[in-house]
Structure 1
Amino acid sequence: MKLLPLVFFFLFSPFVATATPMKLAFPENYAPMIWTENGQMKGVVIDVLNTVLRNKLSIETQYDGYPWARAQVNVKKGLADAFITIPTPERLEYTVCSKEPVFFGNIVIYTYVNHPKRDEILAIKSAQDLLNFVLVDYRGNGWLKSKLPDAKVVWTDTLEQTYKLLANKRADIIIRDTVNFDFFARDHKYTDRIEKTSVIVDTINIHLCINKKSEYASILPDFDNVIKDLRKEGTIEAIIDSYTKPSVPMN
């Protein structure tokens, strides 16, 4: 009879009974959101997920970094349970995603300083206008592939390589949220060669997406509730601020 409470604990506690940690796959070089340093994943995403999954939901986690395209394949094949990303139609074929976005923000245009077609770039009104320019982006970017499959793109393996190529005038435009560039711009590494414009081409919502066959797919309602609470408390914004300084002036 003394064993009865313990039996009920394991039968009805939703997260302790799992045999393996929740495996999350990430791009290995996407600072400050996520990157690998000395064999460990770190960044905004890790801090937020540790707060939600480990601290609030008591879920053991395993974080692994890969080239972004490979990370997505691992989730699709069930080699990893989940990733944090934009829920595109292709990704929704094999995942279920949180209703609450973990992060959200504007997608803005970056170009190199003194671009000869700067006035045309500042006049861009929609994603379709970008087809007139050469873009640079990292492999596996779902936003660009879904919005502009016919765009002229120079693909790179890492996020920072995109800034290097743009700074060296190897492409016309980068389309990205502001957090990434603000992180790299903290030491003014690119601000003398890259212009962050005020042109917004889209807004994005980034969600936790879990493989439909994963044992962790059932945690999403609890995950949503915790994310809502953290956003109200300002916790997520504070984590992002800890990695970035104020944005460089917009034109």
Structure 2
Amino acid sequence: MRTFLFALGFGLGTALAPAMAADWLFGFAEKEAPVSDGGQQDAWGILPELTRELFDRLPGESLSMSAGPWIRMQRWVATGEIDGFVTYPSTERRDYALFSETPVYNIDFGYLVYRSDHPQRERLESAQSFDDLEGLVFIGQQGVEWERDNIPFSLKTILVGQLDTMMHLLARRQTGDFLVMPPEQAVAIARRLGYAGQIAYHPVDFIPNARIPFHVGLRRSHPETRMLIERIDEVLRSPDFNDSADRIVAGYR
């Protein structure tokens, strides 16, 4: 889930035309499972499922969803070809989108992921700082700035290019001891690669900047954006929605 910091050609724009009849058309990143995936006509994953749950609580509003290359989805919100997305409200995105005050989802990197039969599992689960992990081998992904900024260089580290390779090294080759990864992502990768039941995870509170909030964003050019954002925030603050959101996310763990 590193590059989910989430081509369709002219044919996609044409295929999306019928969906524009819906009140609100949202775009999501493809190939970022379990956070989001899908195609021209629909999207699935954590963010699409949470968004549909949100709109189910907005009487009078309808929702259509599509997935595609994330750069293109962002550009289409900026140009008004689609109406919204769910993402981190960066300064650049705030120029063309109005965001909810309340996040719909927090991607939480505050977890250690390791083999369920790891001989030092107790040590991993009782760690109170990175110092307690000295001597263990961290498996990371090359080119990921978040890891470079938040994981100390003092740890023994193996860097590889692909998330699948990271999981193979952990679960099959056992050449590293732990990953730092959201549990939803770790579980999805492990299941797809045939390692279900072979990994475990544990939350820790010593990883800086571990929680990345994802907010609902609507294009500023839509005449009803400000009104709908106010309604969205009301729903996002409600206990009923948050209970449902917790169940949705738990289903991916």
Q: TM-score range by the shorter chain?
A: 0.5 to 0.7
Within the candidate set 192, 205, 210, 2:213 is matched to 205
Give the aligned partner of residue 229 of structure 2: 220
* Equivalent residue letter for 1:181: A
* Equivalent residue letter for 1:240: V
**1:57–1:136: structure 2 CA closer, same or farther, 3 Å change rule?**
farther
Equivalent position SS for 1:205 = strand
1:167 aligns with 2:167: yes
What residue ranges of structure 2 are gaps of 5+ in the alignment? 1-19, 132-137, 154-158
**1:60–1:39: structure 2 CA closer, same or farther, 3 Å change rule?**
closer
Q: CA deviation at 1:101?
A: 1.1
What residue ranges of structure 1 are gaps of 5+ in the alignment? 1-17, 126-132, 157-161
Contact 1:112/1:167 (<8 A) preserved: no
**1:134–1:238: structure 2 CA closer, same or farther, 3 Å change rule?**
closer
**1:51–1:184: structure 2 CA closer, same or farther, 3 Å change rule?**
same
RMSD: 4.4
Aligned residues: 209
**1:176–1:97: structure 2 CA closer, same or farther, 3 Å change rule?**
farther
Report the identity percentage. Answer: 17
Contact 1:107/1:175 (<8 A) preserved: yes
So what's the TM-score if we normalise by structure 1?
Answer: 0.61
Q: After TM superposition, list the pairs within 5 Å mapping 1:114-125 onto structure 2.
A: 123-124=129-130
Q: CA deviation at 1:55?
A: 4.7
Equivalent position SS for 1:33 = coil
Q: After TM superposition, list the pairs within 5 Å mapping 1:66-215 onto structure 2.
A: 66-104=68-106, 106-108=108-110, 123-124=129-130, 135-136=140-141, 144=146, 162=163, 164-169=164-169, 175-185=180-190, 189-190=194-195, 196=201, 198-200=203-205, 201=207, 202-215=210-223
Give the aligned partner of residue 46 of structure 1: 48
Q: CA deviation at 1:38?
A: 9.6
Q: CA deviation at 1:197?
A: 5.5
**1:185–1:134: structure 2 CA closer, same or farther, 3 Å change rule?**
closer
* Equivalent residue letter for 1:167: M
Distance 1:187 1:134 in 2: 19
Q: CA deviation at 1:88?
A: 2.2
Distance 1:91 1:155 in 2: 28
Equivalent position SS for 2:237 = helix
